[in-house]
Every structure is written in structure tokens, then in C-alpha cells.
Amino acid sequence: MPSENVTLEGHIIDALTLPTVLDEIIALGASFEIVDFSVGTRHEDASFARIKVTAADDTELANVIDRLRRHGANPETVEDALIEQADVDGAFPPGFYSTTNLATEVRLESRWIPVDRPEMDCGIVIEDSTARTIPMADVRSGMSIVMRGLGIRVSPPERPRGDERQAFEFMSSDISSEKPKGLLVDQVAAQMKEIKGLGKRIMWVVGPALVHTGSAPDLCALIRAGYVDALFAGNGLAAHDIEANMFGTSLGVNLHEGIAAEHGHEHHIRAINELRRHGSFDAAITAGVFDDGIVYHLVKNGCSYLFGGSVRDDGPLPEVVTDMAEVQQRLRDLIWGSDGRDLVGFCIVVGTMLHGIATGNCLPASVPLVCVDINQATVTKLMDRGSFQSMGIITDVGLFVRELAERLAPHEIRSTRS
Amino acid sequence: MPSENVTLEGHIIDALTLPTVLDEIIALGASFEIVDFSVGTRHEDASFARIKVTAADDTELANVIDRLRRHGANPETVEDALIEQADVDGAFPPGFYSTTNLATEVRLESRWIPVDRPEMDCGIVIEDSTARTIPMADVRSGMSIVMRGLGIRVSPPERPRGDERQAFEFMSSDISSEKPKGLLVDQVAAQMKEIKGLGKRIMWVVGPALVHTGSAPDLCALIRAGYVDALFAGNGLAAHDIEANMFGTSLGVNLHEGIAAEHGHEHHIRAINELRRHGSFDAAITAGVFDDGIVYHLVKNGCSYLFGGSVRDDGPLPEVVTDMAEVQQRLRDLIWGSDGRDLVGFCIVVGTMLHGIATGNCLPASVPLVCVDINQATVTKLMDRGSFQSMGIITDVGLFVRELAERLAPHEIRSTRS
Amino acid sequence: MPSENVTLEGHIIDALTLPTVLDEIIALGASFEIVDFSVGTRHEDASFARIKVTAADDTELANVIDRLRRHGANPETVEDALIEQADVDGAFPPGFYSTTNLATEVRLESRWIPVDRPEMDCGIVIEDSTARTIPMADVRSGMSIVMRGLGIRVSPPERPRGDERQAFEFMSSDISSEKPKGLLVDQVAAQMKEIKGLGKRIMWVVGPALVHTGSAPDLCALIRAGYVDALFAGNGLAAHDIEANMFGTSLGVNLHEGIAAEHGHEHHIRAINELRRHGSFDAAITAGVFDDGIVYHLVKNGCSYLFGGSVRDDGPLPEVVTDMAEVQQRLRDLIWGSDGRDLVGFCIVVGTMLHGIATGNCLPASVPLVCVDINQATVTKLMDRGSFQSMGIITDVGLFVRELAERLAPHEIRSTRS
Amino acid sequence: MPSENVTLEGHIIDALTLPTVLDEIIALGASFEIVDFSVGTRHEDASFARIKVTAADDTELANVIDRLRRHGANPETVEDALIEQADVDGAFPPGFYSTTNLATEVRLESRWIPVDRPEMDCGIVIEDSTARTIPMADVRSGMSIVMRGLGIRVSPPERPRGDERQAFEFMSSDISSEKPKGLLVDQVAAQMKEIKGLGKRIMWVVGPALVHTGSAPDLCALIRAGYVDALFAGNGLAAHDIEANMFGTSLGVNLHEGIAAEHGHEHHIRAINELRRHGSFDAAITAGVFDDGIVYHLVKNGCSYLFGGSVRDDGPLPEVVTDMAEVQQRLRDLIWGSDGRDLVGFCIVVGTMLHGIATGNCLPASVPLVCVDINQATVTKLMDRGSFQSMGIITDVGLFVRELAERLAPHEIRSTRS
């Protein structure tokens, strides 16, 4: 039976890496032998393991090796990556290497080349001795695609160890609604400040519940204070936000309509119709159709934004992108910056599962991700992608953003807030 | 087939009363004829209806009449209530009248006597020409019990009409997590202020999530500011609160332990053991075992409180009442005041289903009830009792109480809050 | 102040219609006077009311009239509908009439014309003296659009009355997870049989949870037995279904993978890639890529199907429609049949919010709708559209479909089911 | 700074034991050095580690040692356990050893004595050279209590390793509603059969949702087939069950009442009253008050049962134990058998959080525990106790028990089932 040595080093014992790797080998029906093992005697020392993995046949072995890579267990045999030409448009050759969202290198002509734009479930294309991830749909016949096998190396972010986790409890494993909420707001606020201090961008992914729960003015305050560099949302968020600002609904009515069904109330559909008549957010703002709210502030503050459509949309609003392939491409640009070299430094998903999962699919594991929702199932699903720098918070979306605005943008909060 | 006329008056059309009554008659297998009907032509005018109800036999008819009473449709025939002697201890005679939580009168010797302490699912006992509700377990052989039939009259609180609901959206029917949360906090704060202004007591029913979510200091602020006259909770709330204050757990650790399982962490069980060694909250406070937190403030501010045990309790703490019959009796005293003449003016249930339902069972329909929980199922269940003055709020318990304290007791909030 | 008489007739008291109408008038800030009222004295008799509605100005009045129409309260003044030419592509003239999903007529040259394809939140276009609903995006400059005002008449389905509801508890108001589940399965099975007996089509809207919970074989049995005429789903359902059938995953592994994150497991992405290489479901089946499962049975049994994309999709699979405007158009064809004259007779939504809401938006109120999900929030949201013939069932999607197959297609259930 | 060596052996790497231990040391603010380490080279080989733990002071060290014990890391220093006399009734001396639910030994006069009845959060009392757990409330002044420190040894059940887990996916870590449900029912059925084959008892902990969802007849079938040796529930389950059988409610009505509020419907309160008049289940059955249902079958089949009261109860029924201290004592007897030597072999919790947590508190970790609920939060909370042999299933309680009865007791299912 074929076998291959993989090596692991770092805090592989107290960071659960080694057990996870051994577990995975057995779960995939292969077996292992620990060939070499040196243990760091103290907490701060690194350990090292060389593990011989044996599988039923070469295909199985290649499969196991692929899986182990995502835990940082890379094969010891060093050879160049196997390359094959794509034979059809829009699909990879069978046996292509399917990417993780971790930092990855491929070996070409005896040199390790970093793969640009790590993203899950893509392939790797080689062009002019550089490597980048490529979505399935973008493949064109004749492209050089990296195949499954050796010659690929993955470096997972090292899982925070006991004492560091203590200091900054940013772990997805224990999602619960029963946590000290004030403290969690403090943590998110502190991290946002830190990210801005580093000159990096903050990306928001937001669902319409933010408007329904009355905290749109708080998000506006955060936009004014510079904490929203990029925003990804759907037609619903924009439509409810514009509607609220167009019809000057007073608090009482606002309350009443916040309760109403997603569909069937006049204002919603009339607001969309009016916007379509103007053709763009900017034209409608210039015409005085609305002069406050999330969309208004995004436009006026020059934020990057993307509104992606969905099958349930009314209208949709102008500027909502209705083709999903285009939305995904523009989402990647939002994440990586217009020049592809300005990766967002922090991402917060608030009250949306659909757009949150879409973002999680494209986001590299190195970007800290916070997900806030009142529904435990939504948070669990979004946290499943397994980034170590992710945090799920089960709480009220409205009150959370409110408290965040109070910490980060107290002078920008206006009295209109409800 | 036997029949009986019932009458209804007030805003019986636009307040859904008449349709509900007609619906119920049909649902119970009886039939109706509208004998008399005068409709108020304008919104502010009252209407009147006389409805002849016909059922298969006398038992069925009595059953229908009983059900209609809770909507304020009282039988037209006026006779004295039927009284029977209890024949055993701890149970009513078969055919006893089972009470609602609405204002009720019984007719004795041609006079209508009000029934003291309206409460659901009790019986009515007559003593010295006065009437009061009595729980099943308190019945003693020989007592005079009111039987099902005529001679009983119920007055439901009139359901708020369209325009009033508009102003103060206090309806249980539309529970949703997507409401303007800031506005809901404002409403609850306003009503609490109003109740205190009227000199009435505010009762809190609280679950341990309040401690886990880090808002115990906010409830302490509300206690100091006089917004907690009575508190009903379980062993868990008190134990977690005292533990947090005994072991001076710093924020980091606090966070860590907020996550931990309900069971199995040392501090919890050691805190309970220490309290048991002192025998009472007061003795432990005097001995310096703890000097802050919810229990401490309840004791120091002379609030009424009741901790009722349950099958899952550790310990329990001293002062936790372990016999359920005694808990229910003392809960009634908490609600009605020590002299039975100081009914609470407002009740708020926060993060607890068990103690919330127990309270709902004993509370008269006239007391406004607000229920706050992150779990929709809990809120729905608590709102099921159908009081018109109830409001269910699906939100984060910790952030809600935090915002409430900021509105009602800003000067009492201390820096220790997390 | 301007006023208009509206009339209502039928079981307007015991079916809650009249109170709802009066409520709505007040909620919208208008006032009413009941000009005429004759009450049906017995349960089976119809009642009649003429209500004078007064509002602040003509716009307000038009708005109130529009809202009352959806409860069947139509204005007494009879004039032709107001028509205006669309002035831009893709949007209505301001003041257009926004449709409900109820049966509607417009008055043209003194005759009442039925509006084809009732659907929510559309407009009405007049062509050659016929009327049909038209989505905002399909409007072209110069079209004749019906404006808000008189000359429009809506007939809501009459709400089932007390005794009928008793017999067939098909009401959305009381959604709870604590209902007799066997009975609910019986009811849905009975209604599906009845619909097929009438020669009408059954439409399914299905989420990927059906595959994860192991009940894809049960849906296949229902397809074989003829209970799935049309199916609407997303890329995820098809991808998981094909993956399960391509990789012959045994139960143990299946279990393991059923748990896995939506993303990141090899098989999923490789299955999609393989299908894209073949270009269509049919080509892949012919090539022997998969020979069982939901997609296979849909194709082999000649069912109508539509897979609509979303922003979170991998791939997507061939035949998945990525443009949302096109998906909505094809969804309407699925609902109304290829010739627009074969409206589905029953619609069941299982384990999906996104595609369920999209369907609810397009479906006329006359089609009975059942929504099954384990999450109460999803069911509540889908039931909000207020059809009287809708039922929300909170239960396990997998076990529900399993029991449904046992009742409707016992001989088609194969041993592969897990 | 004081230190102590602890040792670990077994599959401590691939079963996550060693990393967890190292993690815990750091989390508690102590530090470690791995003094000795020999790794099993192959999957089936055991490993061994000797870890030197250093803490700030003796108290901290004792605390850390206590925590490590529950992972099977026992201190190397061998001395007799420290014993102290209880100085008050109802509480332990400060510094008592607080138990886990794992197999435990204490060292007395140089011999290791097993501790009888392992249970969480108790103390250990020594009587006549034997050791047993004792709840805080049962302590009497003068008893010999084991103190925290050395001389105590804990043996956790070894966590199933990769390949075994594969075969029988019985892990609490990945609770999800999206699992193959038929397979889960198969697994639970298989394990119940196996347990009965071994002559062990099966214990059920059941909430009233079982009755509301219409599956009481299925549980009756399981009782008749011998799969219910012991049952623990509350007043609600028994009252709803008896009510359903007393009032012969037909399906339609049943449906209607299944929806109704927990309180306020006649039948419920009249059923309880009638039972109280007879004084016991047996007397009521003899008198013909009810002749079917869960309570009837429990009595007629001689099953052990315990109904524990709670603060929200109506009545309660006769035989419901109202004092919580007594309920806990009798629950322990239910678990361990009347002679304390017949520990249940399997425990299933269905649709109840309150009684489920109470059971989890008393149950030794060696008893496999399955928890079934439609609410994810309930399942998560019950699974938190960390037994390796526990499984949480998020599904419909009614359909689950239905399918279980079909597998285990097909001939006992009667047509009355709904």
C-alpha cells in the first residue's frame, strides 16, 4: 500500500493540531505511524512530528494528503506541482486541486510560489510563473490548472493557544446567547479601532433586520465616523432603508410597519418604483428623493458598496446586481480592493445568513470575522467555516449596533435614532 | 335543546369581541341566533348584542356559558350562584366553577359580590358572604364552593382599540425579533416610571441569563433607583450572582466562566456550600461573604423577594423554598402584597420560562406583563395567557436590561458593569 | 374632508372581516361611520355593512380605500379605472395601483374585467381590453397602467368559519411545534390526494436540508408516484443530491458528511465540476455520471423544474439560472403552467426560506400553501403573507417527508433510504 | 512555586486528552513542563505522559489538580486522602472535594477504595471504610468528608477514537438539525435493543410535548414492549395524558386543544381535580376514571416512575412529589435501582429541559444519554455535561418517538394513534 510522510511543527499538541490530524487520517480510512516526535517540554516550546500515512491506493492517499494540508501537515516529498491544461470552458480537469481559504504555495520549477487571493473551493491557475485562485466558472480551455498531489503547501494560521485565547476570547467553538454582552461589544469595538489604526478597511455585511430593529441611524453614525469602508447587502436592506427615509414615517407608524410582512405594504413598493424612475441612488439623491439613511451615507461618504440580488426581491432597486456570477466577482473586488492589493482587515456580518455565507465563501481565513444574529442556527452555520479568528455572537442585532455606535461614534449619533 | 341569552356591550365589533364570541360558540358545537343588535355608528360609540345560545344539553350549555364569560358575554338570566359543600380535602366537588384571571362577581342572596384575588384555574369559596379564589390544594371538606352555572359574572378588560394601540403598541399578537428595539425600551421605561408615579409596585421575574450576559450590575442599579419592589427567581440566579461576587472573578475569567456548563465548575458549588454554612443571606452578608450583586442589593434595600426551588438545583441556597406548594402560596403574597391589598402594578419577566409561567398562572389579567427573552418559543408561551396588556419582546436579555438601566437609573450605574 | 362608502357582505362578523376593516380604518388615521348594517341572525346567514370612510384628503382616502380592498371592502362609487401611460421603461407612473394576490377586477368602459395572474406587489397593464398583472421591471414606456383609485374590485377568499376550521385546521395563526404531527401528515397527504384527483398540479419548493436529513429517497418515491409536478429549488439542493449519488457514499460516511460544513468538502465541489463538464443534467445522466436521486427522477419523470441561483452558490451547476430577473419570470411560468392556464393546485415549501419567500411573492392567494421547517422563525415569516389556506408546520423536514412518502407512495419507497 | 507531577496514559493524543489537559493548565493560570513522553507509534498503541504542573501557591495547585483529574490526569504523589469532620448540618467543611460524575477512588490507609454512586457536584463521605457521594443537603455534623487534594483518583471513560466514532456516531460535539434522521432513529433503536439484551434498564425523561404532538400512544407501545423500565416527568405530562384519556377527545378537538395555551382550558383542571378526589393513580384506574395512556400503562406494567413537581404546576396530581429535596433523592433511587445496585443502562430525554437537566445532574457519566428536542438551545444545554456517550438530536419529538415505536414495538402500535 502506498504511503507518504507528512510533517507538522509548532504548538501542535496544546493547539489540538496533532490530534486533529491523526483523527482525520483514521476517519478517512487510512492508517498512520508516528516516525519522529520531539515534544516541546514547556508551554512556549514548539513540538515536531513526522507521520507516515498509508492508504489503500494512490487516489486515496492523494485525498488524505489534500485533507491534511489544511491543518498544516504538508507532505515531505518535494516535487513540482502537477499541471494540466483545462479541456473545457467553465470547469476544471478532473483531479484538479480544490483550494482552502488558507495561505498556499505551489512548487513550480523547484521554487515555491505563493498563490494569490486564497479562497475556498476554487482551483489554482498558473500564468507567467505566477499562481492565483480561479473560480470554476472563470476557467477557459487551455489554462494551466494545478492538479491534486504533491507540490502544494498550506500554512494555516496557528490556532491561538490557551493563554492568548484567555486574553481575547475570539473562538467560534462556544457560541451561546448567555455571554457577557457588554464585554463582547467592547471587544468588537476595540478590534475595529485597532484595524482602523493599522490603516486597514472594515467590511460590513448587513441584513434588513438592522432597519427593522431601528438601528439604521446607528450604522449611519458609524459610516460618518469612518468605520464602514465597504458594505455588502441585498435589495431588501436598501429598499427598507430608502423607504423609511422617503416616507418620513413617524415613530408610531414606523413601529407599526416594522412589524408588517416583508411584502404587501405600499411604501416599500412605491419607494422602489420611485428609485427605478431615477435610475441610480445618486440621481435620486440629487433629485431630493431621500436625504438620510444608510444608502445616502454610503453614497455621500464615498464608501464601496455592493447590493446583490436574490430570487425574492421586489423591483429590484437600480444598482442592485441581478446576475449572481457578476455579484460574486464584484464581491471579490470588494474584499480585495479595487487594485486587488487592499484586502479588508476585518469583516462583520449582521443579521443576514444569505449574504454572510456568500462572503464567508470568498473571504481568506486570515481576515477576522464576526457574525451577529439573534438566531443561533444562523451564527452556527456562518461559523462553520472554521476560521480561528472568527467569533459568533447571539444577540439582538439592533441593540448590538446601537451599543457599538455609542462606543465608536458617540458624537455622530443623532437624535432621530429610535 | 336548552338555550340561554348572553349579552355583550362596548366596542364589541372593532375590538374583535363579538366575532370571537360567535366563533367560540360554533367551535364548542353549539349554535347561536343574534336576537338583538344595535351598532355604534361611529368609532367612539358602543354597540350592543343579545345572543341566544343553544346547545345539545344542559351540561354542554353550562360549558359554553363558562367559556363565553371570559370574553365578557354574561348570561342574561339572573339567579344566585349555586353553592356546594366540598366533600374531600384538597379537591373541589365535581362541577365546580373554574376561574379565569379576570375581574369576577358571584351573586349571593340577590347581590353581586366581587371575588377577591382573581387567578386562573382556581375555584371560588364563599365565607361570611365574601368570595375569594382558592387553589385546589387548599380546599378543606365542608367549605362552600361555587359551582358552574349562572350567578357568575366576568368583566374582561376592554381590548385596546385601533387608535390606542397605535399610541402604545402593547399587543401580544405580533411578537417578532424585528422591531425597533430602542423604542421598546423607551416604552417599558416610560411605563415603569408611570407605575412608580402612581405609587404602585414593580415585580421582576428573572432567570440566570441576566447574570451570564453581564447585566447583573444594571439590575442592581435599578434596585438602588427603586424600580424593583419584588423579585421572584430560582436558586440558579441567586447562586450565580453570589458566586460572581464571592470569587471576584475578573472580566477575562468571568467571560470564560459565563460560557461554562451550568454544572461542574467549582465556584458555583463552593459558593452555595459557603452560604449554607451561614444559614441565610443576611448572615453571610454580615460575615462579609459577599458585598455586591443582586441578592446583596435586594437584602440591603429591603425589597420583597422569593427564591423558588426546582428539581435541577444544586444545594440549594438557604432561603430557597423547596416545597412547590409553599412557593406558590408565597408567590401569591408577593403579587398581592403582605396584607393582600397591595397588588403589583407592573410585572416584567426576563430570561426565564419556568418562573415566568408560574407567575403568569397567579397574576390577575389587570396587571400589565412584559416578557423579554432571546428565544421566540419562550416569549410565545408566556404571552399565550391572553392578557391584553401584555407585550412580548424577543431580544438580548443583557442588552435590554442595560439600556433600561441607562434610561431609568443612569446615576446608579457603576463602572464595574461589564 | 373627503369620504367614500365601502360595502362588505358575507360572514363578516364571525369571520373577523368587519372588525379588521374597522381596525384598519382607524390605524390609517381615517374615521368611519356605519351607515347601514343588517346582521345575519343565525350562523349560516350572511350580514351586510355599508361604511362611510372619511380621511384628511383625497390621497389619504385613496390609500385607505386601497387597503380596505384587500379585505373585500370595495368602494360603492362605480366609475371606470383610471389609466395612465407608462413614461419610462422598468417603472410605473407614480400613483400606480399596487396589486394584492387576490382575485381582482378592473372597470373599463363600464364593464368589470378580471385581472389575469393575480400576484402581489405588481401593477396592472391593459392591453386590447384585457388586464393582467405586470412586474415593475417588465414595464415599457407607453403601456397603459391602472392607477390607484376607484374602478378596481377585489374578492378575498372567504375566511373559513368556526365549524369548517374545526374540520380542517388549516389556519396560519397558530403555528406551534406542539401539535399532533401524525395528524398533520395525514391532512397534507389527504389534500395532496384530493388535488391530484382534481387533475391539478402539485408544486414543491425544497431546501438542501431534505438531502442532509436523509429523506431524498422519500422525495424520489413521491416523484415516482406522481406527487411532484413542479419543483423549485436552489443550486445547493441539486448539488448535494447529485454528490450523494455520484460518490456512492455509504451510510457511515454519509452521516459524517451530512454534518460537515456547507463548504470545503471535496465531493461537493468535484460533483459540480463534473456536471459542468457535461453541460446539462441530461448529458451527465446519459454519460452515467449519476443514476438515482432527486434530479435524476425529475429528469426521468419529465417533471417541470427550476433551479434558481444565489450569491452563495458554488459553481453553479449547469441549468441553474443565475440571473434573478429570469428566475422570477420562469418561476411564474412554473406556477401558471407553460400555457399560463394550468395554475398549480397546491404548493408545499420544505426547509427553505429564500426560495419559499420568492414563491410566496408570486403565488396567488387561491393556492393552498403548506410550509414545513424546523425553525419557527422561518415558518412565521413564510406564513405572514396572510392566505387563509396556508398552514405552517414546525417539524423535522426529514421525518415529515418520510411519513408523507409512507402514506402516499409506500410501494415506491426503496431500501436505500436512510 | 509549588508543583506536582500528573500522569496520563492511553490514546491521549488522538483522543484529544493531552491537548485538553495542557490547555486547561494554561487557562487556570498555571504552567507545565512535559517531563516524560512516550508516543504510541501506531494508531492502536497507547501513549504516556508525565507532566509537571506548577502553580502560584498550594491552593491554586490543588485547584488545578482537581480540574485535571476529570480528564484522567491523576497526581503522581500517592498519599491518603485528607478527611475532615463536617462541622454543621447541610453543608461541607470549606475545602471539601467536589465530585465529578466519573468513576472515582479515594485512598484510605494506603488502599484505593471505589466511591459508590458517582454524581456531579457532591462530596464524598467515608463510613466504615467505604466511600460514597453525598449531596450537600444530606451532610450531618460529624460525618467524615474527603477534602480537596491528593489521595483521589478519577478514571474518565476513554473517548472513542476516530475509527470507533465512525462506526457509531455518538458524539455530542456536532449537534445539528440537518442530520440523516432515519439513521439516528435506527441507532437509538439498536442501542435500546442491545441494552435490553444485556438485561439492563432503560430510563425515559419525558416532557408534555410528547402528548401534544400526538405520540403518547407510541410511548404506550414502547411501554408494553418493555422498553420503558423507569420514567421521570413532571405534573404536566401526567395531567395532559390523563386528560386526553378521560375526556375521549376526538381527533378534531384534540387538534384544537393541542394548540391551546398550557393553562385555562377546563378539561385540564377538571382532570386534575378528579384524580385528587381519588387520591392515587391506581385508585382512579380502579374506579374507571381512565383506562389508557402513559400513566395507565406505567401503572399496569409495573414500571418505576417519578413525577416531580415545579412552581408552575396546577393541582398538582396525587403522587406528584412537591418537595424538591425529596424529588432529587427519589430520582437517585430511580437511576440506581431500589437496592442501589441496578444502575440504568441507557437514558433518553425527550422534550424537556427542566427534568432533563435534573437527570443529567445525577446520572453517572458511564450511562449513555440521548437527548431529543426540536429546540437547539435545549439540546445544547443538556449535552454540555460532556459525557462521551451522549448524543443530542434536534428533531420533532412526536415523529421521533413514532418512528422509534415502529422499529421496536410495531405489533404494539394501536390504531388509536394520531
Q: Return residues 167-186 of A near B (CB < 8 Å).
A: 167, 169, 174, 176-183
Q: Looking at residue A115, what is its pLDDT?
A: 97
Q: Looking at residue A125, what is its pLDDT?
A: 98
Q: Looking at residue B258, what is its pLDDT?
A: 37
Residues of A in contact with D164 (CB under 8 A): none
DSSP H/E element including A346: strand A346-350
Per-residue pLDDT for D150 more than 70?
Answer: yes
Per-residue pLDDT for C46 more than 90?
Answer: no
By C-alpha distance, the chain B residue nearest C37 is: B39
Q: Say if C262 is an interface residue toward chain A (CB within 8 Å).
A: yes
Residues of B in contact with A166 (CB under 8 A): 252, 256
Residue D53 to residue D33: CA distance in whole angstroms: 7
Q: Decide if D350 contacts D397 (C-beta within 8 A).
A: yes
Per-residue pLDDT for C261 more than 60?
Answer: no
Residues of A in contact with C328 (CB under 8 A): 311
Test mutation, C3, C8, C12, C13, chain B, max B CBs within 10 A: C13
DSSP H/E element including B4: strand B3-10
Test mutation, C8, C11, C22, chain B, max B CBs within 10 A: C22
Residue C359 to residue C377: CA distance in whole angstroms: 17
Residues of B in contact with C376 (CB under 8 A): 376-377
Residue A68 to residue A25: CA distance in whole angstroms: 8
Within 10 A of D278 (CB to CB), how many other CB atoms are there?
17
Per-residue pLDDT for B131 more than 90?
Answer: yes
Average pLDDT of chain B to the nearest whole number: 87
Residue A311 to residue C324: CA distance in whole angstroms: 5
Alpha-helical regions (H) of A179-323:
181-197, 209-212, 216-224, 235-246, 251-259, 266-278, 281-286, 294-300
Residues of B in contact with C163 (CB under 8 A): 26-27
Mean pLDDT of C127-142: 96
Q: Looking at residue C171, what is its pLDDT?
A: 39
> Using 50, 70 and 90 to split pLDDT, how confident is the model at D165?
very low
Per mean pLDDT, which of A178-187, A272-281, B148-157, C258-267 is the most reliable? A272-281
The residue with greater pLDDT, D138 or D59, is: D138
Q: Looking at residue C59, what is its pLDDT?
A: 84
> Using 50, 70 and 90 to split pLDDT, how confident is the model at A164?
very low
Q: Return residues 101-140 of D near C (CB < 8 Å).
A: none
Per-residue pLDDT for D115 more than 50?
Answer: yes
Residues of D in contact with B100 (CB under 8 A): 264
Per-residue pLDDT for A111 more than 90?
Answer: yes
The residue with greater pLDDT, A42 or B123, is: B123
DSSP B310-378: -TT-SS--TTEE-BHHHHHHHHHHHHH-TTS----SEEEEES-SHHHHHHHHHS-TTS-EEEEES-HHH
Residues of B in contact with C50 (CB under 8 A): none
Count of A-C CB contacts under 8 Å: 154
Among B182, B209, B255, select the one facing A417 at the smallest CB separation.
B182
Q: Name which of C239, C391, C256 is nearest C315 in CA terms.
A: C239
pLDDT digits (tens, 9 = 90+) for B226-254: 999 999 999 999 999 998 888 755 333 34
> Using 50, 70 and 90 to split pLDDT, how confident is the model at C159?
low
Phi-psi label, residue B25: left if phi above 0, alpha if psi -120 to 50, beta otherwise: alpha
Q: What angle do CA A235, A237, A239 make, to 5 degrees?
A: 65
Residue C146 in grid coordinates: 391602472
Q: Looking at residue A259, what is its pLDDT?
A: 38
Among A121, A274, A377, select the one facing C263 at the smallest CB separation.
A121
Q: In what order do the strands lie in the sheet with D47-54?
A: D31-38, D47-54, D3-10, D74-75
Per-residue pLDDT for A154 more than 50?
Answer: yes
The fraction of chain C above a pLDDT of 70, given in percent, is 89
By C-alpha distance, the chain B residue nearest D233 is: B311
Residue D133 to residue D118: CA distance in whole angstroms: 6
Whether B256 sits inside 8 A of A169 (CB atoms) is yes
Within 10 A of A342 (CB to CB), how many other CB atoms are there?
16
The residue with greater pLDDT, B9 or C383, is: B9
In D322-331, which positions are buried (b, 16+ CB within 10 angstroms) versus exposed (e)? bbbbebbebb
Burial of residue B29, with CB atoms counted within 10 A of its CB: 0-12 exposed, 13-18 middle, 19 or more buried: middle
Per-residue pLDDT for C255 more than 70?
Answer: no
CA distance C41 to chain D (A): 26
In C94-133, which positions are buried (b, 16+ CB within 10 angstroms) versus exposed (e)? eebbbbbbbbbbbbbeeeebebbbbbbbbbbbbeeeebbb
Per-residue pLDDT for B160 more than 90?
Answer: no
Residues linked to residue C118 through DSSP beta bridges, in sequence order: none
Average pLDDT of chain D to the nearest whole number: 87
Residues linked to residue B414 through DSSP beta bridges, in sequence order: none
Give the least confident one: C115-129, D352-366, D374-388: D374-388
Q: What is the value of pTM for the model shown?
A: 0.90
Whether C14 sits inside 8 A of B27 (CB atoms) is no
Mean pLDDT of A281-306: 97
Residue A82 to residue B75: CA distance in whole angstroms: 90
The fraction of chain B above a pLDDT of 90, given in percent, is 60
Residues of D in contact with C254 (CB under 8 A): 180, 183
> Using 50, 70 and 90 to split pLDDT, how confident is the model at B213?
confident
Q: Looking at residue C407, what is its pLDDT?
A: 95
Give the least confident one: B288-292, B319-323, C180-184: C180-184
Q: Looking at residue C321, what is its pLDDT?
A: 97
Per-residue pLDDT for C260 more than 50?
Answer: no
Test mutation, B120, B205, B312, chain D, max D CBs within 10 A: B312
Test mutation, A3, A23, A42, A67, chain D, max D CBs within 10 A: A23
Amino acid at C98: S
The residue with greater pLDDT, C378 or C408, is: C408
E runs forming strands in D109-155: 111-116, 123-127, 130-134, 144-146, 152-155
Give the least confident one: B97-106, B245-254, C175-184, D207-216: B245-254
Q: A285 CB contacts (<8 Å, ≥6 apart)?
A: A291, A296, A299, A300
Per-residue pLDDT for A36 more than 50?
Answer: yes
Per-residue pLDDT for D5 more than 80?
Answer: yes
CA distance C408 to chain D (A): 17
Q: Looking at residue D257, what is its pLDDT?
A: 39
> Using 50, 70 and 90 to split pLDDT, how confident is the model at B387?
low
The residue with greater pLDDT, D27 or D393, is: D393
